[in-house]
Structure 1
Amino acid sequence: MLVEQTTALHTLAASLGDPSESLLSLRAWCGVYLQDLADLARAIPLLEQTAADQVRVLGDDHLHTLAARSNLAGAYRAAGDLGRAIPLYEQTLADRERVLGGDHPSTLSSRNNLAYAYRAAGDLGRAIPLHEQTLADQVRVLGGDHPSTLSSRNNLAGAYRAAGDLGRAIPLYEQTLTDRERVLGGDHPDTLTSRNDLAYAYRTGGDLGRAIPLYEQTLTDQVRVLGGDHPHTLTSRNNLAGAYYAAGDLGRAIPLYEQTLADCERVLGGDHPDTLASRNNLAGAYRAAGDLGRAIPLYEQTLADRERVLGGDHPDTLASRNNLAYAYRAAGDLGRAIPLYEQTLADRERVLGGDHPDTLAVQQNLAITFIRRGRRLGRVSKSG
C-alpha cells in the first residue's frame, strides 16, 4: 500500500513540478524495500526513476543521489545484471571518494559492494584485494564490532571460499558468526546469513557432519524469524537440499529441491537468479539419481534462461554449460558433450583465467570425455 501511495503522490507531484526531497527519499526507501523482498521487477524501475529524479532535483554530487546510484547498482547485481551493476558501483565509489573522502562510511560501503560484484562476476583477482582493503579500513575507522565491518569480514570469507582457500575462509566465517551472535544476537538476519555461509563452507570442505546440522538449524530459525517465503529462507532450503545431495541422500534432496524451485518460481519469478540456481540444482539431483530424461531438458532450459537473463559470460551461465555437457556425457552423447565442453573451456579461460578452479575442472571433464571417446572408438575398431 505504501509503494502504491507514494507512486500516486509522485505522479501528482511530477505533474506540478519536481518532487520534494522528502518524497524522493521515501521513494528510495520503497525501492530498497522491494529489493529486500526480491521483487526486482518493481524495484529496478522504481530505483531507476528515483536516481534520475535525484540527479535532476539535487544534483550529481548530493549524498542522496550517490545513495540512489548505489541502491540501483545493488538491484542490478541482485538481478544478475553485472554488466550494469559493476560500472555503476565503480562510478559511485569514485564519486564518494571525491565528495566524501576515502574513510567515510558510505565510501567504505561502496568499496565493499564493488568487491562483492567483482566476486559475483568471478573476478577474484580484483575482488579479494578490495575486500581485504575494505575490511582493514572499516576496522580502523568503524571498529571491529560495527555491523558494516562484520559484513565485510563475512564477504571476504566468501571470496576466499570462492577461490578455494578454505583454510582462510572457514576460520573467518567462524569468527564472524561468533561476533554477530555476540553483537547482533542469534536471530538477527545477518547472524542467520553467517550461519548459512559457514555451513556452506563446511560442505565445500566435505565436512557434512557439521554442515547438515547447521543448515537444518539455520533453516528452522529463518522460517521462524523471517517466514517460509523470505528469499533468505529459500536460499537456506536450497542449500540444505544441496547438503543432502552431497551426502548421497537423494531421497531427502530431490523433494526439497522440487519444493524450493516451486517456491522460488512463485515468490521470486521464473527469471530470478535464485530460481535459475534452484532449477540447475534440481537438474543435478535428477542426474545423480540416473534420471537423465528429466535432468537434460531441465539443464537445457536453465542454460537458455541463464544466457538470456545473465549473459553468456556470467559464471552461473558457464557452470550451466559445463553441467549440461556432463549430462550429455552421462547419457553417452559424446557428440554433443565434447563441443560443449570445448566451448565452456574456452569461455572460462577467457573470463576466469586458466588457473581458476572452475577452468581446471572443465579441463579435467573434457580430458575424461576424450578418453571415453577413445575407448569407444577402440572397441569399434576391434569389433571391425
Structure 2
Amino acid sequence: MTEMAALDPESLSAADHAAFAETVADASARELMRRLNRHAARQDAPLVLSGGDTAGVLAAWSRGYAGKHPEAGLFAHFVGCTAESRSTERLLERLLLWLRRLAALPDPLPVAPEDRREILPNWLGRAAARYRLVVVLDAVDRLTDADPEQAVAWLPDHLPPGVRIVAGVSASSAVAENLRLRGWQVEGTESAGSAGAEDAGTPESIPPAVLRMLWASRRGLTAAELEAAGHAAPAAQGPVYQVDGRLQLAGAGVRDAVRRSLLPDGVDRQAAHRTVAEIAETAMPPERRLDELPWQLTRARDWEHLARFLADPDVLLALLHQPDRLDLTRWWHAWGSDAELVAWYAQRLPGWRAALAGESLAELLLLLCAAFRDQIPGGDLTPFMEELAFHEESLPAGQRARALALRGSWLAEQERPEAEGLLQDALERRLERLGADHPETRTSRHQLATWHEARGNGQAAVELYRAALRAREQSLGEGDPGLIPYLTNLGAVLKAMDDPAAAKPHFRRALTIAEKHYGNRHPTTAACLDNLAGVVYAEHDFDQAETLYQRALGIAETVFGPAHAATAAAAHNLGAVMDAREEYRTAEMLFQRALDIREELFGAEHVDTASSLHNLAGVKDAMGRYDEAEPLYRKAIANWETLVGRDHPATATSVNNLADLLRETGQHGEAEQLYRRNLETWRGLMGEEHPHTLMTLCELAALYAEQKRFDDAEPMLRDAVERTARILGRDNMDHINAVTRLAGLLRDTGRRDEARELLRRTITSVEGTLGMISPRLQKLRRHLDALDVDPDRLH
C-alpha cells in the first residue's frame, strides 16, 4: 500500500478558527470588553451579545482573555468561519475534543450524536473541577441545522461552577429571545465594527466563479488550486481570510450572501461541489485530497464516487489511522452507516486480497473491524474474521496478537466458548512481547477478565484485575489517579462475589486518590463515593453509607444540577439507605425525586424509572399506605415485563412485593397466583435450592397457613427449614424466618411443645456463631418467650 497520511481535522479546524479570530478581531468597544471581563470573573448565567459585529468583539476579547489568563481554559467557535463550522454536531464535537484534551480524559469520543450530548455534562464537570472554563460561541443563530428553539439545546441547562458561556447572535435573531426565556442574559449591542452578519452583501471585487468555489470548499482553496481551475486568487482581506495558504470566506454573513445571490437552489450548490471535487482530484496533493474530496462528494450526493474512494485501501487505511476516525465516521454516516455498509465492504474482500500482501491486508482488516464494532455493532463481521484467521499463522508477532485479541473479543460478544482460548493466547503473547503494563496488554487482560466475570468465574477475574493493578502501580506509583479504574474493577468483582469486606479497601483507596487529585466536586469523586457506599451498605453500616451517599448527591447536584440522571441515581441510592434505616418518610421523598427526574428524562418505560417505581412502592408499603403502593407495584411490574421480560429477576422481585402486599390486605387469591408464578420463575432462573426460590416457598407456605390450609403449608415449611439450614446455614435470616413460621403453624395446630422444641433447638444451634445481642438470635428468643403469652407474634 502507498503511504498516505490523513490530516487531523481537529488541528485544521483549530487553525481555521484562530486565523479567523485574528482577521476579524475588533477591540474598539472598550466598555463591552470590560463587561465580558466582569462576566468571566464571576459565576453567572450565560451572556448573549445581540447585534452588531459580535464576531469582531468576541474574537478580540477571547484572544486577549486567553493571553492574560493562561490558567483558564478558553474555547472559541465562530460559526461561519468554515463551511463545516455551521454544523451543530461539528461544534459539539470540537467542544468535547477540547474538554478531553484540557482535562486529560482517557475516554473515547462517543460516535452517536445522542451519546455525545449525554456525555457533555460529565466532561464539562470533570474539566470545570480543575479549571475555569470560558466557552465563546459566536453566531449560534447561524447554525444551519438548528431552528431557533434548538440552537443551543445540546448545552445542559445546568452548568457546573467555573463554567462561563458567552454567545453572539444577530440583532434580529429569534434565538436571542429563546435564550432569554431559558434564563440567559441577553444584551443588545452595536459595536464599532462592521454591520451585522445578516446585512452582508456579495463581494463585488471577487469573480462569481471564485466565490462559488470558496463557498463550496470545506476549508478554502489555495492560490495554486484556484489557478489550476483557471482563476486568479483574490486578496486575503475583507470578505476573504487566509490560513496556512488556504483562502476562505470570512463569516456566516458572507457565506449566506454568496449562497443567496450565486447559489440560489440545490442544483447550483451541487454543481459547485462537483467543481471543487474535480479540483480536489486533479490539483490537490494526496493529504489535501483526502480532506476535501469526500466532503465534496457527500454534498454533491455522488454516492457511487464516494463509495469507490472509500473502498481504496490506501484511502481507507489513512482515514482509519486518523485520530478518533473523525472523517471516516462523518463520511460513513452521510453515506449510510448500517449493516448494509458492512456487507458492501465484505464484497470488496476479493479485490483487496488480490491487491494486498498478507500483512497489509491484515492491518486494514484489524483497523476496519475495530471501526465497525464501534460504529455499526449490528454488522456481520464473519467474512472479515475468517479472512484474518486464514492469515493469522503467517503474521508477525504483534499483528498476530492483535488478530487473536480482535477475534477473541468478537467471539466473546457472541458468547462463543472458543473466545477464551484466543483471549488467553493474545494476553500471553503480549505479556511476553510488550510487558505487563503495555496498553495492548492491559486491553487483553481486561477482555479476558470480563469474559470470566460474565461466566461467574469471579476468582479468575480477580487474579487478572490484581495483576493489572500491580502493573499499573509499578508504572504510575501508589497514588496516581490512573489507578482508580483498576481499583474499581477489582472492587466491583469482589462485591459481585458477595465479599464486600474484600472489596471495601479497594473502593476506599480509589476514593482517597480521587479526593486528593480531583477534589470534592468532581464526578470521579462522586463515583468513588457511590462505590464505597455500596459496599458499606452491603455490610449494613447504614450510618457510613448515608454519609457517603449524601456527599455523592451533593456533588451531583453541584456539577449536574437538580434534574440530571446522575442526581436521580444519587437520590435513589440515598433513599435505599434511608429505607433500610426505616426512615421511610425521608426515603419516600428521595425515591419520589428520583422517579420524577427519571420519568421526565427517560419516560415511563425505562429500567431506571421502573426501579424507582418499585422502591417508592416499597416505602409506601412499609408505612402501611397500601392503596398508594399497590398501583406503583403494578406499574413497575408492567414496565419490567415490557423492558426485560416476564421471567426476569427484576420482574420477579416486584411481583413478590406485590404478592406480600396483597397477602397483607387479605387479597389471598391473587397473592397465591403471584407467589406460584414467582416460584416457577425462580426455579427456572436459579434452580430449586437458590435463596430466592426458598424465600418464595416460605411466603407461599405462610399464605396457606394464614388461610388455615395447614396440610398444604406444613410440608412446604418443613422443606424450607431443612433446605435453608443445609444451603444457607442455620444462622441465616431466611432459615430463621422459616423456623419461626413453622413454629407458628405448629402452635396454631395445637402442637406447642413441638414448636417450643423447634425454637430451642434452633437457638442452641446458632448461639455459638451469633453474638448474644444478634437481631437474629433475639428474634428466636422473642418467639420462644411469646409462645404462650402472645401467640400472634409467631407470624
TM range (shorter): 0.7 to 0.9
Distance verdict in 2 for CA 1:203–1:104, change over 3 Å: same
2:466 counterpart of 1:48: no
* Worse overlay, 81-90 or 118-127: 81-90
Tell me how far apart the structure 1 counterparts of residues 446 and 779 of structure 2 sit (CA, whole Å): 52
Distance verdict in 2 for CA 1:27–1:249, change over 3 Å: farther
Question: Which position in structure 1 is the counterpart of 2:472?
Answer: 58
Letter in 2 for 1:370: D
Question: Which position in structure 1 is the counterpart of 2:680?
Answer: 262
Question: Which position in structure 1 is the counterpart of 2:501?
Answer: 83
Distance verdict in 2 for CA 1:96–1:300, change over 3 Å: farther
TM-superposition CA deviations, 1:282-301 (whole Å, max 9, x none): 31330231212211321332
Distance verdict in 2 for CA 1:344–1:77, change over 3 Å: farther
CA deviation after TM superposition for structure 1 residue 173, in Å: 1.1
2:509 counterpart of 1:94: no
Tell me how far apart the structure 1 counterparts of residues 699 and 686 of structure 2 sit (CA, whole Å): 21
What does 1:248-327 align with in structure 2 at a 5 Å threshold? 248-268=666-686, 275-290=690-705, 291-307=713-729, 317-318=732-733, 320-327=735-742
Tell me how far apart the structure 2 counterparts of residues 100 and 25 of structure 1 sit (CA, whole Å): 25
Tell me how far apart the structure 1 counterparts of residues 790 and 562 of structure 2 sit (CA, whole Å): 58
* Worse overlay, 68-77 or 142-151: 68-77
Distance verdict in 2 for CA 1:113–1:85, change over 3 Å: same
Aligned residues: 351
What does 1:182-193 align with in structure 2 at a 5 Å threshold? 182-193=600-611
Pick aligned residue for 1:15 from 424, 428, 431 = 428
Letter in 2 for 1:158: A
* Worse overlay, 203-212 or 48-57: 48-57
Distance verdict in 2 for CA 1:27–1:95, change over 3 Å: farther
CA deviation after TM superposition for structure 1 residue 181, in Å: 0.7
Tell me how far apart the structure 1 counterparts of residues 597 and 768 of structure 2 sit (CA, whole Å): 41
TM-superposition CA deviations, 1:87-106 (whole Å, max 9, x none): 43333333433454443322
Question: Which position in structure 2 is the counterpart of 1:356?
Answer: none
Residues 676 and 700, structure 2, Cα contact 8 Å, conserved in 1? no
Pick aligned residue for 2:612 from 184, 194, 205 = 194
Pick aligned residue for 2:633 from 206, 212, 215 = 215
Tell me how far apart the structure 1 counterparts of residues 461 and 522 of structure 2 sit (CA, whole Å): 23
CA deviation after TM superposition for structure 1 residue 344, in Å: 7.7
Gaps of 5+ in 1: 352-358, 377-384
Residues 621 and 661, structure 2, Cα contact 8 Å, conserved in 1? yes
Tell me how far apart the structure 2 counterparts of residues 324 and 165 of structure 1 sit (CA, whole Å): 28
Residues 76 and 84, structure 1, Cα contact 8 Å, conserved in 2? yes
Residues 108 and 134, structure 1, Cα contact 8 Å, conserved in 2? yes
Question: Which position in structure 2 is the counterpart of 1:236?
Answer: 654
Letter in 1 for 2:655: R
Tell me how far apart the structure 2 counterparts of residues 145 and 303 of structure 1 sit (CA, whole Å): 47
Report the structure, 1 or 2, having the larger helix content: 1
Tell me how far apart the structure 2 counterparts of residues 319 and 268 of structure 1 sit (CA, whole Å): 16
CA deviation after TM superposition for structure 1 residue 337, in Å: 1.1
* Worse overlay, 94-103 or 12-21: 94-103
Could you say what secondary structure the match of 2:657 adopts?
helix
Could you say what secondary structure the match of 2:728 adopts?
helix
Pick aligned residue for 2:597 from 175, 179, 191 = 179
What does 1:102-251 align with in structure 2 at a 5 Å threshold? 102-251=520-669
Residues 93 and 110, structure 1, Cα contact 8 Å, conserved in 2? yes
Distance verdict in 2 for CA 1:303–1:65, change over 3 Å: farther
Gaps of 5+ in 2: 1-410, 432-439, 706-712, 747-751
Letter in 2 for 1:281: T
TM-superposition CA deviations, 1:198-237 (whole Å, max 9, x none): 1111211122212222212211111112223433223223
Tell me how far apart the structure 2 counterparts of residues 136 and 144 of structure 1 sit (CA, whole Å): 10
Letter in 2 for 1:264: W
% identical aligned pairs: 21
Residues 25 and 64, structure 1, Cα contact 8 Å, conserved in 2? no
Tell me how far apart the structure 2 counterparts of residues 108 and 202 of structure 1 sit (CA, whole Å): 29
Tell me how far apart the structure 2 counterparts of residues 250 and 240 of structure 1 sit (CA, whole Å): 12
Residues 595 and 613, structure 2, Cα contact 8 Å, conserved in 1? yes
Residues 145 and 179, structure 1, Cα contact 8 Å, conserved in 2? yes
Report the structure, 1 or 2, having the larger strand content: 2
Distance verdict in 2 for CA 1:261–1:48, change over 3 Å: farther
Tell me how far apart the structure 1 counterparts of residues 582 and 514 of structure 2 sit (CA, whole Å): 32
Which one has the largest radius of gyration?
2
TM-superposition CA deviations, 1:102-125 (whole Å, max 9, x none): 433222112112222222222212
User: What is the Cα-based RMSD across aligned positions, in Å?
Assistant: 3.4
Letter in 2 for 1:337: L
Could you say what secondary structure the match of 2:729 adopts?
helix
Residues 89 and 110, structure 1, Cα contact 8 Å, conserved in 2? yes
Question: Which position in structure 2 is the counterpart of 1:379?
Answer: none
CA deviation after TM superposition for structure 1 residue 365, in Å: 6.4
Tell me how far apart the structure 2 counterparts of residues 252 and 345 of structure 1 sit (CA, whole Å): 42
What does 1:31-46 align with in structure 2 at a 5 Å threshold? 34=454, 41-42=456-457, 44-45=458-459
Distance verdict in 2 for CA 1:258–1:76, change over 3 Å: farther
Q: TM-score of the superposition, structure 2-length normalised?
A: 0.40
Pick aligned residue for 1:370 from 785, 789, 793 = 785
TM-superposition CA deviations, 1:267-307 (whole Å, max 9, x none): 34567xxx413422331330231212211321332244233
Residues 682 and 692, structure 2, Cα contact 8 Å, conserved in 1? no
CA deviation after TM superposition for structure 1 residue 373, in Å: 4.6
Could you say what secondary structure the match of 1:279 adopts?
helix
Tell me how far apart the structure 2 counterparts of residues 323 and 363 of structure 1 sit (CA, whole Å): 15
Distance verdict in 2 for CA 1:280–1:238, change over 3 Å: same
Q: TM-score of the superposition, structure 1-length normalised?
A: 0.77
Tell me how far apart the structure 1 counterparts of residues 772 and 492 of structure 2 sit (CA, whole Å): 27
CA deviation after TM superposition for structure 1 residue 154, in Å: 0.6
Letter in 2 for 1:288: L
